[in-house]
Amino acid sequence: MFENLNIKILWLFAAGVCGSIVGLGINPGIDTPFKRILFLFGGLACTMFLATPIATHFGLKDASEIAAVGFAVAIFWQQIVGKLASALNNFSIFGSGR
């Protein structure tokens, strides 16, 4: 049971690291070592927490399919988090009159 789980986590971790490295290459604004480290950790964190729910939503269940989603999430995590934050800022349960 845990062998399969460890393989999935390893695939997801590798995809997150590789996707974050690719994301660094396509984002020219990340130019300092501190920003690069934050981008790597942010991409890895988003991969670990968002890839499985996104893959499940689209009916993807295999470890390599989830890892592929994780790779894409790691590349575009800043845009994904920005859209989620915008959606949460516009959401109101009680209709605050914005």
What is residue 78's predicted lDDT score, i.e. its pLDDT?
87
Output DSSP code: residue 20. Answer: H
Q: What is the pLDDT of residue 2?
A: 54
Question: Is residue 9 in some structural domain?
Answer: yes
What would the two tokens of residue 39 be?
């981008």
Q: What integer pLDDT is reported at residue 97 of this predicted model?
A: 52
What global pTM score does this model have?
0.78
Residue 94 gets which letter from DSSP? S
Q: Is residue 58 part of a domain?
A: yes
Summarize pLDDT for 28-85 with one digit per residue, the tens. 888 899 989 999 999 999 999 999 999 999 999 888 899 999 999 999 988 888 888 8
Structurally, the chain folds into a number of domains equal to 1
Question: Is residue 98 domain-resident?
Answer: no
The answer to whether position 90 is within a domain reads no
Task: Tokens for 33, please give them.
Answer: 């070592």
